Amino acid sequence: MSRLVQSEPVARFEQVGLRYRSGPEILRDVTLTLPAGSFHFLLGPCGAGKTSLLRVLYLALRPSRGRFSLFGQDVAAAPRAELVPLRRRIGIVFQDFRLLPQLSVQDNIALPLRLGGRDEEAIRSDVAPMLLRTGLTGLAHAFPPELSGGQQQLAAIARALIVRPRLLIADEPTASVDEPLALRLIHLFQELNRLGTTVLIATHNERLASGFNHPRLRMEAGRIVQEGTVPVDSPPNVRPPVGSSTSVQEALP
């Protein structure tokens, strides 16, 4: 597949604030632009507001104030029905996986395609290479409770990638895996990014992020307090990613 051609920023936050009902603000004056095709790490301790920012970004929450646009559309002013097509351009890797326990691995991965109305023959042809790419072919008929944390994370990532998103959001995707697999997962995201997908990874693992030369955003107490690229501390020895030698480009529909 060719690289996605995009022009306008994928997302723009201007003085965005977020509060739940009458509670204190969770996000405070967030101003941020995610250029199309960029790759960022979002750093900060637990409770800094990273997950809340991601939830605004993938349209689970609306800002309490400020302006937020996604794919060039003003989200605050848009009716909910108009947000559905925007949401379909986003792939999400949740911190708690959110795999459906009653569905097999291959059916969990296929779920976004089925919800989008894709026919079954096309779904099978799309899912098979993604299973191969993530090393899950032998677990295609297994169910989430039978998997390790790392295997569940791979299935969740495959589900996010199967729609070939314009924006990939990952919330602590390496929290439940060991370091070798964590490095391989980041490599997987990098492959997708090279095809043009904008990637934002939230993590509290600064050691992991420091091994990659990608811009880093730092959050504290609901604010973006630092932006920029920090020199790589020690480039990780990233081995070929999980699964076969099939590339992400070859695995994508």
Q: What pTM was computed for the model? A: 0.86
Residue 87 has pLDDT above 70, yes or no: yes
3-state secondary structure of 171: strand
Select 35-59+89-251's CATH number: 3.90.1300.10, 3.40.50.300, 3.90.960.10, 3.40.50.2020. 3.40.50.300
Q: What is the pLDDT of residues 30-74, one digit of tens each?
A: 999 999 999 999 999 989 999 999 999 999 999 999 999 999 999
Domain ranges of the chain: 35-59+89-251
Question: What distance in Å separates the CA atoms of residue 214 and residue 201, rounded to the nearest whole number?
Answer: 11
7 band by pLDDT with thresholds 50, 70 and 90: low
Q: List the one residue out of 93, 98, 27, 94 whose CA is nearest residue 66.
A: 27
pLDDT for residue 245:
47
Q: What is the pLDDT of residues 182-236, one digit of tens each?
A: 999 999 999 999 999 999 999 999 999 999 999 999 999 999 998 766 544 444 4
3-state secondary structure of 189: helix
